[in-house]
Chains A and B, each alone.
Chain A
Amino acid sequence: MHDDLNWAIGGEAGDGIASTGKIFAQALSRAGRHVFTSKDFASRIRGGYTAYKIRTSVDEVQSVVDRLDVLIALTERTVDENLDELHEESVIIFDGDRTEFSDFEAPADTVGLDIPLKSLAEDAGGAIMRNIVALGAVCAVTDFPIENLDESLEKRFGSKGESIVENNKQAARLGYEYVNDEYADVENPYELETTDNDYVLLNGDEAIGMGAIAAGCRFYAGYPITPATDVMEYLTGRIEQFGGHVVQAEDELSAINMALGAARAGARAMTATSGPGIDLMSETFGLVATSETPLVITNVMRSGPSTGMPTKQEQGDLNMMLYGGHGEVPRFVLAPTSVAECFHKTVEAFNLAEKYQLPVYLTADLSMAVTERTYEPDEFDMDEVEIDRGKLVDEDEISAWQNEKDQFKAHAVTADGISPRAVPGTEGGVHMSTGLEHDELGRRTEDTDVRVEQVDKRNRKVETAEEREDFDYREFGDADADSLVISWGSNEGTIVEALDYLDDLDVRVLSVPYIFPRPDLTDDVQAADDVVVIEANATGQFANVVEHDTLERVDRINKYDGVDFKADELADEIKQTLEA
């Protein structure tokens, strides 16, 4: 059905799984093939099992599926973990010299290739290269020209010296030749075609980091937390080249307050964290919103509550981002729906933050954060990036916003709810901002009229944004279908791929990247015979929002076992739900 290959390497944490996977993914990408990777933490047994999976095709791929074609098993358990996904043409590469594989027999109907990975690696210069030997074997099994590995090996090992690179190339070739010599008679169903296309390969966290720099973000403060740390690690060493700086704060409380300070000083600033960090930031979040400070807060969601399952997928923080914090104050919530959209929505988040002078939650999730995906480089066209700093005023514009005592009205009550913004260093713009309710000058007040005026003014910014911005959904599938599938955030790619598995069932898909303010789905929902909302949480947080907005009941597909949706599995669930 699909001209694609599903590949994985699995073993114990510390076996070099991720770096081997990355080398192969890059080789595929450089060879003009599309790639979609996932880190597989699916585990029925406790312990350090980890796997890196790649789906690759000459066509675009945007989801994992429930099928594994080629598996490098560094441990016997890797085979056990993936039994359900193996099929009669699956090839399992293992090293029978390892004690644990001494009695190993490949599961019935699969093809087991016993290759002395370690000993061939030693021939090439060191046992540490056994995974590279295995990659060479994969090239032979998949008819993938081995030269394609060379560039990835240079990129990965170039900094360690020429001889290391050459040893690795040799290790790959030994694995390649071993398969061709010893298993020449094994029928090979796979052939990885190459193309002349140039793709870039990146994950969601990297796309957010790159988007931040493109958008003029110059200050980042954060505290390491899975799965948001990659944003900080991406920015470190890069943002400095653009005059920016990254601070590793002592905790999330400090991180958001540093970012707030930088934003008050006029910088485009960001912090990124995951759910537990958002919890800690909640108090300051209210201050950011009340002081009308533009700030981008990235939440890369993971499974909760509390410490939850920190390395597992979940979209469980939607309620917290929409409603978190005491009192009432507007915030925007953006949920990019793909790796590329992580870039675009990050740029948009910075513009929205400054145009409407409020905190913007930019939310990704673990699945999208660690997923590497190929794109045409034009997808990230820096010439298309537009910067809108909103009502930032300079010395010349200050006087229009001063009262009769030449005091600057930083919280002036305006028709659109947006006040002028002067940053320190701007002559005549001196003012205080505060978390206390305040008057137009930013001074504490408990005057009932002023209180109501300021609350209304802040809320009016939302109405203004709804008028001026295009907070629309992304649409896929059959526009005229009677069945409607709604999703938010990272599920988009999987749902789009699931359409291929739905056979004769036609559905219309709305993928919503704007959680607040959000598109009005009332007409869409009311026009459909059946509606199902798909999300990676237990209680249907977005489904509840849709029901609230549209006054219609919807069906739900919820996944909260920590594992990514898979296109073929999801298609079955959609069929069951809609046909029920």
Chain B
Amino acid sequence: MSSENVRFTDFKSDKQPTWCPGCGDFGTMNGMMKALAETGNTPDDTFVVAGIGCSGKIGTYMRSYALHGVHGRALPVGTGAKLANPDLEVMVAGGDGDGYSIGVGHFIHAVRRNVDITYVVMDNRIYGLTKGQASPTSRPDFETSTTPEGPKQPPVNPLALAMSAGASFIAQSFSSDALRHTEIVKEAIEHDGFSLVNTFSPCVTFNDVDTYDYFRDSLVDLSEEDDYDRHNYDQAKDAILDADKEYMGVLYQDENSTPYHEAHGVHENMAEIPDGAPDGATDLVREFY
């Protein structure tokens, strides 16, 4: 399939999603598929990795090469795949539990490595698949079955974590704003390095606080802020640490960062190997004289 003829529906599988009607994940996934198609990728050259949770099901509903892995470890899988074959478009999907709780260690190090992959996190501030427990991004007073009085601890700020780890691309989107979400994911794909897109993806079943209405009313779209410069580190820092407002758009981008494959000279498709030991292997034996 040549990339000119690819439409976003080519990235859609024939499986009907089992997400709850109205789930934000529908919009998040649609934007991902559109962005992949509009950036010239094909299902044959795309590798989607997901972990566990509602977000983890995305590989089933999309059509591409994919791995649905264990909880919290999608980023290392994506990292390995991209390094093994740099020609692949690698997109990693996760949720706030998968990425910022069980997988937060990998998140920090994936950001540091700056491998050229795109990480879309469907952040609904709740554990949906296990029916409504607190997530690392839940509000301190958000009452759930396991936190009857709320977690009583500050939520993780994923954008700040990314920034502190030296991220080269930090963005935030909203699943229901299809146009902007798609644009932002496209920019993330086109960024040469690790890209974080934290996507507010409301859970209509278990979260009655962080709702469509809440995000629609409160999110500030940075594309409409004329004096916002995504390349300005200090401005980005202020926006990311702003306790009063939440932003949508590309908060920070360093287009001059050195992606992993350049820093380490990893350019070859490692899947291609000779039928026997590689040329020069005998030199390895000679070293032991």
Contact = CB atoms under 8 A, between A and B. Distances in A.
Interface of A: 29-30, 198-202, 206, 210, 213-216, 218-219, 221, 238, 240-245, 247, 249-251, 253-255, 257-269, 283-284, 287, 291, 377, 380, 382-383, 385-387, 405, 423-436, 443-444
A443 B17 CA distance: 12
What are the 7 closest A-B residue pairs judged by CB atoms, nearest first? A261-B80, A266-B271, A257-B76, A216-B273, A218-B270, A258-B80, A200-B288
A429 B44 CA distance: 7
B45 A261 contact: no
B80 A221 contact: yes
**Interface size for chain B: under 10, 10 to 19, 20 to 34, or 35 or more residues?**
35 or more
Given A244-B270, A428-B44, 18 more contacts: A216-B278, A221-B80, A245-B83, A253-B73, A258-B77, A267-B84, A287-B69, A377-B285, A377-B286, A383-B277, A385-B276, A385-B277, A425-B45, A425-B271, A430-B63, A432-B67, A433-B67, A434-B69
Contacts of B60: 432, 434, 443-444
B106 A265 contact: no
Contact of A250 (B15, B106, B266): B106
Interface string B248-282: 00000000000000001110111101111110111
12 contacts: A219-B84, A221-B76, A250-B108, A254-B106, A267-B85, A267-B271, A284-B73, A425-B44, A425-B88, A430-B44, A430-B64, A430-B65
A434 B14 CA distance: 17
B87 A258 contact: no
Contact of B65 (A405, A431, A435): A431
Contacts of A405: 14
A422 B85 CA distance: 14
Contacts of A433: 66-68
Given A380-B285, A429-B44, A435 B83 contact: no
Contacts of A383: 276-277
A444 B52 CA distance: 13
Contact of A265 (B64, B69, B84, B274): B84
B1 interface: yes
A382 B273 contact: no
A261 B276 contact: no
Interface in B108-139: 108-109
B81 interface: yes
A258 B281 CA distance: 25
B284 interface: yes
Q: Of residues A247, A380, A430, which shows the largest number of chain B Cβ atoms within 10 Å of its Cβ?
A: A430
B55 to A, nearest CB: 14
Contacts of B80: 219, 221, 247, 257-265, 269
B81 to A, nearest CB: 4
B281 A214 contact: yes
Contacts of B284: 210, 213-214, 238
B43 interface: yes
A241 B83 contact: no
A215 B288 CA distance: 18
Contacts of A265: 47, 80-82, 84-85, 88, 270-271
Nearest to B66: A432
Interface in B55-99: 59-60, 63-70, 73, 76-85, 87-88
B105 interface: yes
Contacts of B286: 200, 377
A371 to B, nearest CB: 14
B38 to A, nearest CB: 19
B79 A245 contact: no
A213 B282 CA distance: 11
A425 B85 contact: yes
Given A261-B78, A425-B85, A432-B59, A267 B276 contact: no
Given A382-B281, A385-B277, A206 B84 contact: no
A126 B106 CA distance: 47
A276 to B, nearest CB: 17
B163 interface: no
Nearest to B57: A444
Nearest to A250: B109
Contact of A245 (B1, B78, B266): B266
B67 A264 contact: yes
Given A284-B70, A434-B68, A200 B270 contact: no
Contacts of A202: 288
A245 B83 CA distance: 8
Contacts of B59: 432, 434
A434 B67 contact: yes
A34 to B, nearest CB: 14
B49 interface: yes
A219 B274 CA distance: 15
Nearest to B88: A424
A268 B275 CA distance: 13
A219 B77 contact: no
Contact of A386 (B67, B266, B276): B276
Interface in B14-71: 14-15, 43-49, 59-60, 63-70
Nearest to A380: B285
Nearest to B267: A243
B7 to A, nearest CB: 15
Contact of B83 (A30, A219, A436): A219
Contacts of A429: 44, 65
B141 to A, nearest CB: 32
Contacts of A269: 80, 84
Given A383-B276, A387-B276, A433-B66, A264 B79 contact: no
Nearest to B44: A427
Contacts of A249: 76, 109
B79 A216 contact: no
Contacts of B289: 29-30, 198-201, 377
